[in-house]
């Protein structure tokens, strides 16, 4: 009787192992393994909290220059944004590898990439939402939305409940000219709310400024990124690995170390 029971238990163990072996990347994303002494157990981690497929961008793209605006107070809100615990940039491994190819191409032409933002936790997006609801807080209006009334930011799509940045494969960036040791003139600033920020806007910018936008755009598109038609600085990896997951872990080295 005991021998029969042992055989049944062994068969059940094999069956469970086969189920685990068939799991996909997204299936196994929510489990972390913790080893304590003789015992090994699985600890549940919600998919949106799992940073295991993310890297510190500068580990993959050491030539990049960082100016993480949402860690500072120089942004359209005027405060440090929730979830930005360090002035670092995080991206999925896939997006970081593609951005390394972009960087290598542009470095050979005398440029470096300057990063304003990459992965953005959902907590930060919520911070934007709460700020937009307070129509009396217009501290940064003259710098970022002088042509717009703050009350229209929701309707015109500048502020939303979800951001592609929270999926981990979107980056906001510009070019830095190594000869002049300055940012390249794009004819408009990062996070400016208005038509001036549209990549194909021509009326109010010079031919040189437009061409500078195209240098960045062509390099990004050439290595697998797709643009956003309202922002010259915004690009998302076309084959992003987590198209339906909005992550919540903070922007910090600790999240990926």
Here the CATH number for the domain that contains residue 104 is 3.30.1380.10
- Assigned domain for 82 exists: yes
Question: For the chain, how many structural domains are there in total?
Answer: 1
pLDDT at 8 over 70: no
d(CA 135, CA 152): 10
pLDDT value at residue 44: 72
pLDDT value at residue 204: 86
pLDDT at 15 over 90: no
The tokens describing 226, both together, are 């797709």
Average pLDDT over residues 204-222: 97
pTM to 2 decimal places:
0.84
pLDDT at 73 over 70: yes
Contact indicator for 111, 178 with CB cutoff of 8 Å = yes
pLDDT at 29 over 50: no
The tokens describing 64, both together, are 């990049």
pLDDT at 6 over 70: no
pLDDT at 18 over 80: no
Average pLDDT over residues 202-212: 95
- Assigned domain for 9 exists: no
Annotated active-site residue in 85, 231, 238, 240: 231
Question: 112-144: string of b/e by CB count within 10 Å (b at 16+)?
Answer: bbbbbbbbbbbbbbebbeebbeeeeeeebbeeb
Q: How confident is the model at residue 77 (pLDDT cuts 50, 70, 90)?
A: very high
- Assigned domain for 36 exists: no
pLDDT at 20 over 50: no
In tens, the pLDDT along 162-196 reads 999 999 999 999 999 999 999 999 999 999 999 99
pLDDT at 5 over 80: no
Range of the domain at 98: 50-256
- Assigned domain for 32 exists: no
- Assigned domain for 218 exists: yes
- Assigned domain for 3 exists: no
For 204, list phi and psi in degrees, rounded to 5. -110, 10
Average pLDDT over the chain reads 88
pLDDT at 21 over 60: no
In the residue annotation, 231 being an active-site residue is answered as yes
């Amino acid at each position: 009787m005991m021998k029969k029971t042992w055989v049944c238990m062994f068969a059940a163990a094999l069956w469970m192992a086969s189920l685990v072996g068939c799991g996909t990347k997204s299936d196994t994303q929510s489990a972390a393994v913790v080893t304590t002494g003789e015992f090994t157990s699985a600890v549940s981690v919600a998919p949106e909290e799992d940073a295991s497929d993310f890297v510190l961008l500068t580990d993959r793209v050491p030539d990049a220059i960082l100016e993480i605006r949402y860690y500072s107070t120089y942004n359209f809100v005027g405060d440090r944004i929730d979830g930005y615990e360090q002035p670092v940039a995080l991206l999925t491994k896939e997006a970081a590898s593609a951005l390394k190819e972009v960087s290598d191409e542009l470095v050979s032409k005398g440029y470096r990439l300057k990063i304003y933002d990459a992965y953005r936790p959902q907590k930060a997006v919520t911070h934007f939402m709460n700020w937009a609801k307070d129509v009396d807080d217009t501290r940064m209006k003259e710098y970022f939305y002088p042509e717009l009334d703050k009350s229209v930011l929701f309707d015109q799509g500048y502020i939303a409940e979800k951001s592609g940045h929270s999926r981990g494969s979107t980056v906001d960036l510009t070019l830095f000219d190594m000869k002049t040791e300055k940012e390249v003139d794009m004819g408009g600033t990062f996070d400016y709310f208005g038509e001036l920020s549209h990549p194909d806007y021509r009326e109010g910018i010079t031919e040189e400024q437009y061409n500078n936008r195209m240098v960045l755009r062509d390099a990004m598109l050439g290595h697998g990124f797709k643009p956003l038609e309202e922002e010259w600085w915004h690009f998302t990896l076309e084959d992003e690995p987590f198209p339906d997951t909005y992550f919540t872990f903070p922007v910090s080295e600790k999240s990926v170390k």
